[in-house]
């Protein structure tokens, strides 16, 4: 892997109309995952790659039909629904470099093996399990980069839902690609259980980019403005308060009943949120387990 050379000055595209941003999204049963591409007149830059082999192949076919050079793929974080489709896409599009931060690159292999053991079975043969994808170009933890026709700012947000989260800011289109910092209109998956750090990430995202960005492009669900981040923040604050009140200090005899109360309360208050194709309450159950485990550690 090579470290991508930083640009020394702020790079701005010559015209907003030169660059288009588009999304490829999957069904709820496929975790409502998103992948994106930026398109100039002659080039395409990808952002993330989906989970299923079939979805990634279909996405690649959409890209191939545009008859433009694919200059690379930006990876937001090392979770399978964002990197697993890379090999299937390369099977259609040919070789292209994968760009990621050092922390993301270092954690793909470990996450890949964990997914093979614990999560891949539900997708049968429709996932690429031969080997994990490799990162060819390391991105800075913070700085400006140019990839082909595309000028972007990169910033790592460190661990929260994942071991690392990189965001990519495209100033010319006022677009911000935030990976799983945004899971719009779905129950927010806490992941590794570090809920306080996730809330800090939301605050940092708004502090650093509010006023500079029109659209946030997240890893799951719809794109939109910072009101989506605020909705997620309120959801997690509600969940955190309930955990503090009814779960953290509960004894063994109370724990199951209190957990069910929390889940039912959240499902009722947030009935409009999706569950990524799982039965209602599944993500909340996982979140409660992760938050409690993190608190005890």
DSSP structure string for 60-75: HHHHHTT--EEEEEE-
- Rounded to whole angstroms, the maximal C-alpha distance in the chain is 64
Give the Cβ contact number of residue 279 at 10 Å: 8
Distance from C-alpha of 260 to C-alpha of 274, rounded to nearest angstrom: 18
pLDDT of residue 158: 87
Per-residue pLDDT of the chain (297 residues; tens, 9 = 90+): 544 433 333 333 334 458 999 999 999 988 999 999 999 999 999 999 999 999 999 999 999 999 999 999 999 999 999 999 999 999 999 999 999 999 999 999 999 999 999 889 989 999 988 899 999 999 999 999 999 999 999 999 988 999 999 999 999 999 999 999 999 999 999 987 789 999 999 999 999 999 999 999 999 999 999 999 999 999 999 999 999 899 888 888 898 999 999 999 999 999 999 999 999 999 999 999 888 877 766
Nearest CA-CA partner of 233 in 278, 183, 282: 183
Label residues 24-46 b or e (16+ Cβ within 10 Å = b). Answer: bbbeeebbbbbbbbbbbeebbbb
| Rounded Cα gap, residues 25 and 33, in angstroms | 6
Does residue 169 sit in helix, strand or coil? strand
Length of the chain: 297
Predicted confidence at residue 9, as pLDDT, reads 31
Closest to 88 measured CA to CA, from 122, 50, 124: 50
| 228 vs 57: CA distance, rounded Å | 30
- H, E, C per residue of 7-39: CCCCCCCCCHHHCEEEEEECCHHHCCEEEEEEE
**261 backbone dihedrals φ, ψ, rounded to 5°:** -65, -45
Contact 47, 170 (CB under 8 A): no
Q: What are phi and psi for residue 153, nearest 5 degrees?
A: -110, 135
Beta strand 166-170 with 150-156: parallel, antiparallel or unpaired?
antiparallel
- Give the pairing of strands 98-101 and 69-74: parallel
Contact between 25 and 46 under an 8 Å Cβ cutoff? The reply is: no
Residues 6 or more apart from 204 whose CB is under 8 A from it? 157
| pLDDT the model gives residue 296 | 67
Q: Are 276 and 186 in contact (CB under 8 A)?
A: yes
Q: C-alpha distances in angstroms, 124 versus 53, 59, 116, 129?
A: 10, 20, 11, 10
Map residue 135 onto helix, strand or coil: coil
């Amino acid at each position: 892997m090579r470290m991508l050379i930083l640009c020394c000055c702020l790079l701005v595209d010559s015209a907003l109309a030169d660059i288009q941003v588009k999304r490829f999204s999957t069904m709820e049963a496929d975790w409502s995952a998103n992948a994106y591409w930026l398109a100039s007149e002659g080039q395409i830059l990808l952002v993330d790659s989906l989970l299923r082999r079939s979805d990634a192949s279909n996405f690649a076919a959409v890209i191939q039909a545009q008859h433009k050079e694919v200059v690379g793929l930006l990876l937001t974080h090392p979770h399978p629904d964002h990197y697993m489709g890379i090999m299937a896409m390369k099977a259609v599009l040919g070789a292209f470099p994968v760009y990621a931060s050092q922390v993301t690159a270092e954690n793909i292999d470990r996450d890949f093996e964990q997914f093979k053991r614990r999560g891949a079975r539900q997708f049968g043969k429709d996932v690429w399990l031969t080997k994990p994808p490799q990162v060819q170009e390391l991105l800075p933890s913070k700085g400006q980069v140019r990839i082909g026709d595309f000028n972007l700012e990169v910033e790592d947000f460190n661990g929260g839902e994942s071991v690392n989260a990189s965001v990519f800011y495209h100033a010319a289109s006022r677009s911000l690609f935030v990976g799983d910092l945004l899971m719009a209109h779905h129950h927010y998956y806490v992941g590794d259980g570090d809920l306080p750090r996730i809330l800090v990430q939301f605050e940092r995202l708004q502090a650093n980019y509010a006023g500079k960005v029109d659209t946030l492009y997240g890893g799951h669900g719809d794109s939109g403005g910072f009101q989506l981040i605020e909705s997620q923040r309120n959801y997690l604050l509600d969940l955190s308060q309930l955990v503090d009140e009814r779960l953290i200090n509960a004894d063994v005899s109370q724990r199951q009943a209190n957990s069910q109360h929390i889940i039912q309360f959240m499902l009722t208050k947030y009935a409009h949120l999706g569950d990524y194709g799982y039965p209602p309450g599944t993500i909340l159950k996982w979140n409660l387990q992760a938050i409690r485990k993190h608190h005890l550690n």
